[in-house]
Amino acid sequence: MTDLRNYISTHSLGSPLQAAAGEAILALSDAAAQIATLIREPDSSADFAAAQGSANADGDTQKALDVICDEIVASALAAAGVSTYLSEEREEPVSMDKDGLVIVACDPLDGSSNIDTNLSIGTIFSLLPAATGPLQPGRNQLASGFFVYGPQTTLLLTMGEGVHAFQMDASGVFHLLDWAVSIPAQTSEFAINAANARFWHAPAAAYVADCIAGAEGSRGRDFNMRWLGSLVADSWRIFRRGGVFLYPGDRRAGYSEGRLRLIYEAAPVAFLVEQAGGRATDGKNAIMDIVPEFLHQRVPFMFGSDTEMEEIIRHHS
C-alpha cells in the first residue's frame, strides 16, 4: 500500500515550492495523527467541549479542543519550514520561518459543536505560495485537503492533479485508498441548516422549496436532506456519493455572508471539489476566483454535484 510520504515524494519532486508543500502536508498529517489519538483516548481530566471563555477571531466561542488543536498544528508547522500560519483560532497571521516558501491556512478543528456528541470533526488546510502574501484567491493554492476524525481517521487531499483519499492506521500512518475520487454529477440529496429557512434570501429559499416539493413539484423527483453541522463530514459524504451543500448568506445579524470562512474553509474545500469534478460558488462567483480582503472573511458557500449546482446557480442569476 502507498503511504502518504511515498505519495508525496512522487507528486512533489518538481520544484522547491512543491517540495515545501509536501513537507507541510506531512507535518499536518503528524498533527492530525496526534489529534486523532488525543480525542480517542479516555481522559477524565479533559473536557474538550468546555468553553474557553474567549471567542475566536470570528466571534465563535472557542472550545478547549479548538485551542489544543491549534497549538498542535502550529508546532508541527513551525518544525516544517512553513513561512506563515493563518488560523481560524488566531486574530493575526503567525510568522514562522523567514525563508519558508509556503503559507498554511487552517481550521484546526472544524465542526467543534460536535466534540462531545461523538460525531465526526476534522482539520481543514490550504497551502499557498508565500511569495504572494496571505490574501490570495483559492486558485493560487498549491494543495488543500481535510482530515476527518470519525469512525475512520481519513484525509482527502489535492495537489492540483485530482483528489486522493487516505486512511490512517493504528500507528498514525496514512495509506492511499483505492478510490478514484469524483463527485457524481447528479444527485437528489441536499444539505442545509433548515432551521434558518425564514432568514434565507429568495434564491436559496426557492431552490430548497423546489427540492422539498419533490415528485409533485417542478423537479419531478423526491429529494433527501442531510445536515451534520460539521463541514468536513458533510463534505466527505458529498465526495463519496454526491449531493449539494448550502450555507448561503441570510438575514440574521452577522450572517449576510453566511457562516463559513473563505480562506481556511471554503477555498480549500472548493479546490478539492473542482478537482473532483464538482462546482463551488457563492451564488455568482466561483469560490476559487474570489480574492479575500481580510483573513477571517466569510463567504456564502454552496458546492457539490455539477448538474445540481447548475440549478442552484440558475436560481442566483
Q: Is 111 in the site for ligand F6P (CB under 6 A)?
A: yes
Residues linked to residue 87 through DSSP beta bridges, in sequence order: 106
> 44 CB contacts (<8 Å, ≥6 apart)?
none
- Of all residues in the shown chain, the one whose CB is closest to Mn ion is 110
193's contact among ligand F6P, Mn ion, none, with CB below 5 to 8 A by partner kind, is ligand F6P
**Nearest CB to ligand F6P, comparing residues 110 and 274:** 110
**Nearest CB to ligand F6P, comparing residues 4 and 208:** 208
**Nearest CB to ligand F6P, comparing residues 111 and 137:** 111
> CB of residue 285 vs Mn ion: minimum separation in angstroms?
21
Site string for ligand F6P, 125-164 (x = CB under 6 A): ----------------------------------------
Q: Is 308 in the site for Mn ion (CB under 5 A)?
A: no
**Nearest CB to ligand F6P, comparing residues 128 and 231:** 231
Among 2, 182, 193, 307, binds ligand F6P (CB under 6 A): 193
**Nearest CB to ligand F6P, comparing residues 146 and 223:** 146
52's contact among Mn ion, ligand F6P, none, with CB below 5 to 8 A by partner kind, is none
> CB of residue 128 vs Mn ion: minimum separation in angstroms?
18
96's contact among Mn ion, ligand F6P, none, with CB below 5 to 8 A by partner kind, is none
235's contact among ligand F6P, Mn ion, none, with CB below 5 to 8 A by partner kind, is none
Among 25, 80, 231, 238, binds ligand F6P (CB under 6 A): 231
Phi-psi region at 173: left, alpha or beta (left = phi > 0; alpha = psi -120 to 50) = beta
> CB of residue 247 vs Mn ion: minimum separation in angstroms?
11
> CB of residue 56 vs Mn ion: minimum separation in angstroms?
10
- Dihedral sign (CA 170, 172, 173, 175): positive
**Nearest CB to ligand F6P, comparing residues 16 and 59:** 59
Please, are residues 32 and 153 in contact by the beta-carbon 8 Å criterion? yes
DSSP one-letter string for 258-288? -SSBIIIIIHHHHHHHHHTT-EEESSSSBGG
Restricting to residues 59-118, which ones interact with Mn ion according to CB under 5 A? Answer: 107, 110
Q: Is 259 in the site for ligand F6P (CB under 6 A)?
A: yes
Instruction: Give which of 138, 152, 142, 117 is closest to 240, Cα–Cα.
Output: 152
Q: Is 230 in the site for ligand F6P (CB under 6 A)?
A: yes
230's contact among ligand F6P, Mn ion, none, with CB below 5 to 8 A by partner kind, is ligand F6P
**Nearest CB to Mn ion, comparing residues 261 and 279:** 261
**Would you tell me which residues interact with Mn ion (CB under 5 A)?**
107, 110
**Would you tell me which residues interact with ligand F6P (CB under 6 A)?**
110-111, 113, 193, 229-231, 259
